[in-house]
Amino acid sequence: MNNEDTAVQQLASLMELVTPGDGVLDVQTKAPGPEGSLPLPDEILRTWSSGDLFGLTQNAGMGWDPQDLLRPQYLVLSTQGGMRAEDGSPIALGYHTGHWEVGLLVQAAAQTIKELGGIPFAAYCSDPCDGRSQGTTGMFDSLPYRNDAAVVMRRLIRSLPTRQGLLGVATCDKGLPAMMLALNGQNELPGIIIPGGVTLPPEESEDAGAVQTISARYVHGEITLEDASVVGCRACGTPGGGCQFLGTAATSQVVAEAMGMTLPHAALAPSGQAIWIDNAIRSAHALTHLVERKLRLKDIVTDASIRNAMAVHAACGGSTNLLLHIPAVAHAGGLKRPTVDDWSDVNRQVPRFVDVLPNGPANHPTVQFFLAGEFLKLCYIFAKWAYLTLLFLQLAGRH
């Protein structure tokens, strides 16, 4: 076969790829549009911006009942990644388990808002995985991502001018701090964080922290090729949630709760389980009450609650990355940024007494901290010391 014949065959193969199949060129060029009419009284048509009016048109176009379009609107913002089939099997993978299942939390919260008479909107800004980018140039994008994502999230919030309240659903190292920055940067609005929870440890294998060392251990003869292959496969016991250790992801969840940005006992719930979904449902209920009572995030996240977060961080022996994130969240909300002296003072007064991976001695996984009551148990201990400021507003305590 000469070069000319080869070129003809390649062209024929290309034409086969780009030529539409039978029937697909039967293209519809007009449609009747949604039935009904917009609920437009004279005042709205005269005084609303063209953008707000066009928003009603878009909402009807997406299928919302036109007669319900004047109901209160809420934004559910998440870091969802990947694409799951209804049975949970992957159509397209996410970057990590932490954002793989959070769409279920978005769905539960949105359905609850709808049942309560509101109109939920969902928007997304997905996040990377520090573990996946370890040892690669992807690590150069890790910390910058937090600020970039916070900017995008704030822009998404402001791009829906009619929203009355915010739900932020996030789980991991940079996505959750970015969500906290974004919501506290829009603290004139009511808002609640729904943490994405944790993945379970495997019944017989290593946790997601230890498994990240299989390459180094194999090179040094500390683990066999077969064992490395098995533990590398099994480390994520369940498909959703953050890692099983108290790294940046889990610490951020606990700190968000300590600040008052979540409902009590929301951090570190096992992803995919009923209690995890229930938190999303209760958070949606709580948000509607905050809106009704005009309680904003700036009424909840105060200088006192920032110090609470620092105290809980110390008691947990949490990730040192929160020494970057907590001041950033405070600054986003116009609050005093903790100084080195402030951190030193808190850590001299508050001992670490939480035994969770990777801080022994027993190295319990994060789900055990959740089952022990995590932040609520710490509140009880701190109250006995009269250390924690327990008079700050709790989201669940005002509905």
Shared-domain flag, residues 126 and 82: yes
The answer to whether residue 11 sits within a structural domain is no
The answer to whether residue 23 sits within a structural domain is no
Report the domain count for the chain.
2
**What does the pLDDT look like over 338-359, one tens digit per residue?**
999 999 999 999 989 889 999 8
Alpha-carbon gap, residue 36 to 38, rounded angstroms: 7
**What does the pLDDT look like over 12-60, one tens digit per residue?**
777 777 777 777 788 899 999 999 999 999 999 999 999 999 999 999 9
pTM: 0.92
Shared-domain flag, residues 371 and 255: yes
The answer to whether residue 163 sits within a structural domain is yes
Instruction: Please tell me the predicted confidence (pLDDT) of residue 179.
Output: 98
Shared-domain flag, residues 57 and 135: yes
Alpha-carbon gap, residue 159 to 181, rounded angstroms: 17
Say if residue 144 is preceded by a cis peptide, omega within 30 of 0. no
Say if residue 264 is preceded by a cis peptide, omega within 30 of 0. no
Give the residue from 205, 174, 180 showing the smallest Cα distance to 96: 174
With DSSP H G I counted as helix, E B as strand and the rest as coil, what are the percentages for the chain, rounded to 5? 50, 10, 40
The answer to whether residue 165 sits within a structural domain is yes
Instruction: Please tell me the predicted confidence (pLDDT) of residue 9.
Output: 78
Shared-domain flag, residues 170 and 135: yes
Shared-domain flag, residues 168 and 107: yes
Give the residue numbers spanning the domain of 65.
49-199+246-398
Shared-domain flag, residues 185 and 213: no
Longest CA–CA separation in the chain, Å: 88
Shared-domain flag, residues 157 and 269: yes
Angle between helices 374-385 and 248-259 (to 10 degrees): 60
- Show the tokens assigned to 201: 């440890």
Shared-domain flag, residues 214 and 288: no
Shared-domain flag, residues 285 and 321: yes
Give the pLDDT band (50/70/90) at residue 396.
Answer: very low
**What does the pLDDT look like over 131-169, one tens digit per residue?**
999 999 999 998 899 999 999 999 999 999 999 999 999
Angle between helices 248-259 and 175-185 (to 10 degrees): 30
| ∠ Cα 264 95 84 (to 5°) | 80
Instruction: Please tell me the predicted confidence (pLDDT) of residue 398.
Output: 43
The answer to whether residue 172 sits within a structural domain is yes
Alpha-carbon gap, residue 320 to 317, rounded angstroms: 8
C-beta of residue 173 within 8 angstroms of C-beta of residue 252: yes
